[in-house]
Amino acid sequence: MRRYLLSVIEPSEGDPPSPQEMADIAADVARFDQELREAGVWVFSGGLFPPATATVLRPKDGGVLVSDGPFVEGKEHLGGFCVIDVEDLDEALEWAGKAMRATRLPIEVRPFQ
């Protein structure tokens, strides 16, 4: 078994989904999460607050520089993630496809070292 990170990539700009669309997405994500757990591949998952809530620590002159906001600003950001434990990349991609359909957003798949 190998662990993979499924990253949910959200747009940083544009109009958010309507309340009904968000309710539909939330229901689909809950079903996806339950399916992961029932299959025994779920390790950990979570959604993230917007990038504006981030705090970044950087090394500076032997100390630490603390700043508010995202590490980088871009057209997309990490909106949430899921760690799964599966046989191989093909299985990880199958789960990523289900995540993509549930969230209606791009999903990046990366193996852990």
Residue 59 included in any domain: no
Q: Which residue has the tokens 């980088």?
A: 72
103 lies in some domain: yes
Nearest to 78 by CA among 112, 104, 107, 101: 107
CA 101 to chain centre: 14
Alpha carbon distance 50, 27 (integer Å): 21
> What does the pLDDT read at residue 73?
82
Q: Does 95 fall in a domain?
A: yes
Please list the rounded mean pLDDT of every run of 10 residues in the chain (113 residues). Answer: 97 93 97 98 96 94 94 90 98 98 98 97
SS3 state of residue 1:
coil
Name the domain count of the chain.
1
Conformational region of residue 61, where left means phi above 0, alpha means psi within -120 to 50, and beta covers everything else: left
CATH code of the domain in which 31 resides: 3.30.70.1060
Give the pTM.
0.91
Q: Range of 80's domain?
A: 2-48+74-111
